[in-house]
């Protein structure tokens, strides 16, 4: 498929990229070639915080082309809350996210541990898979024998139909089980990996001073964002709440005036202590629509 003068043509060649990727490329190219498009300023932390006094939304504005302030829209009536500068808000967010931060070394150790679990599970699954496949073969053989018996007049048509139905049901059941084995294989690993990677990416967002990324991580890992008296509060989502409880971070490390990164532990105290292990195992087996 290719685009020529704005019209879409189906080429004779085998498509080298998916339609989705093609559309994405077109989008990017159009964006780049459009000189009229003005870069509109977006406020990274706007849109999901509520005022703790009146419950109205928190909005943002830029002043003197330099400072960004967040404040209550006051659309629900009288409210005495004052603004907060974006820099201060970002600091508070970093401070809170630090509780679920996982450093590189810890991330590697967790992944090693998960790879071991994955291998063990893979061995177990392989056994189940072989067993189910053998059962399936047996049923197929029995079904063909059944047909022979019917054709040679050893059994009646009624007997044949009844038995055949039984075999078909058993066959479908086995096929579904096999499918489940294939599907469930690395679901947990991918899920856990995503959680750990998200926690690990906090330091990168900080180092790059990337407030958009920080905001994404915040919304992915937290909920119920309330701003009151220039203080942001929220709760960690599952399973990040679990991580924050088990992550080894001494609160002494965090002083508002000093970035916490230099001295932050960002690891499970003793990664394979009973408590950390329970946390990691739980995360591994954790099932959700996250």
Please give the residue ranges that form the binding site for Zn ion (CB under 5 A): 51, 53-54, 56, 72, 79, 81
Considering beta carbons, is residue 195 or 227 the nearer one to Zn ion? 227
For Zn ion, give the closer residue by CB, 49 or 102: 49
Name the residue nearer to Zn ion (CB basis): 57 or 235. Answer: 57
Pick 59 or 223: Cβ nearer Zn ion: 59
Least distance to Zn ion, CB of residue 84, Å: 12
CB of 62 to Zn ion, least distance (A): 20
Nearer to Zn ion (CB atom), residue 71 or residue 236:
71
Nearest distance from C-beta of residue 54 to Zn ion, angstroms: 3
Q: Which is nearer to Zn ion, 229 or 273 (CB)?
A: 229
- Smallest separation, CB 267 to Zn ion (Å): 39
Q: How far is the CB of 95 from Zn ion (least distance, A)?
A: 23
Q: How far is the CB of 48 from Zn ion (least distance, A)?
A: 15
Q: 3-state secondary structure string, the chain?
A: CEEECCEEECCCCCCCCCHHHHHHHHHHHHHHHCCCCCCCCCCCCCCCEEECCCCCEEEEEEECCCEEEEEECCCCCCCCCCCEEHHHHHHHHHHHHHHHCCCHHHHHHHHHHHHHHHHHHHHHHHHHHHHHHHHHHHHHHHHHHHHHHHHCCCCCHHHHHHHHHHHHHHHHHHHHHHHHHHHHCCHHHHHHHHHHHHHHHHHHHHHCCCHHHHHHHHHHHEEEEEEECCEEEEEECCCHHHHHHHCECCHHHCECCECCHHHCCCECCCCCCHHHHHHHHHHHHCCCCC
């Amino acid at each position: 498929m290719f685009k020529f003068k704005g019209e879409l043509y189906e080429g004779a060649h085998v498509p080298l990229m998916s339609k989705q990727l093609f559309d994405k490329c077109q989008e990017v190219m159009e964006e780049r070639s459009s000189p009229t498009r003005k870069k509109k300023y977006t406020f990274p932390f706007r849109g999901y915080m509520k005022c703790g006094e009146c419950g109205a939304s928190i909005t943002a504005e830029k002043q003197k082309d330099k400072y960004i302030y967040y404040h209550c829209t006051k659309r629900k009536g009288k409210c005495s809350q004052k603004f907060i500068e974006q820099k201060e808000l970002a600091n508070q967010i970093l401070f809170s996210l630090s509780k679920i931060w996982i450093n590189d070394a810890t991330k590697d150790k967790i992944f090693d541990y998960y790879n071991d679990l994955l291998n063990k599970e893979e061995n177990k699954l392989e056994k189940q898979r072989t067993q189910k496949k053998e059962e399936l073969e047996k049923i197929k053989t029995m079904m063909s024998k059944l047909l022979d018996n019917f054709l040679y007049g050893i059994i009646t048509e009624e007997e044949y139909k009844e038995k055949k139905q039984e075999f078909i049901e058993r066959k479908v059941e086995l096929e579904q089980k096999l499918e489940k084995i294939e599907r469930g294989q690395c679901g947990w690993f991918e899920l856990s990996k995503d959680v750990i990677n998200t926690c690990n990416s906090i330091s990168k967002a900080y180092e790059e001073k990337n407030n958009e990324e920080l905001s994404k991580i915040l919304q992915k890992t937290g909920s119920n964002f309330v701003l009151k008296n220039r203080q942001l509060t929220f709760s960690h989502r599952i399973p990040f709440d679990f991580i924050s409880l088990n992550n080894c971070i001494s609160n002494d490390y965090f002083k508002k005036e000093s970035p916490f990164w230099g001295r932050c532990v960002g690891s499970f105290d003793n990664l394979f202590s009973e408590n950390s292990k329970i946390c990691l195992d739980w995360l591994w087996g954790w099932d959700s629509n996250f």
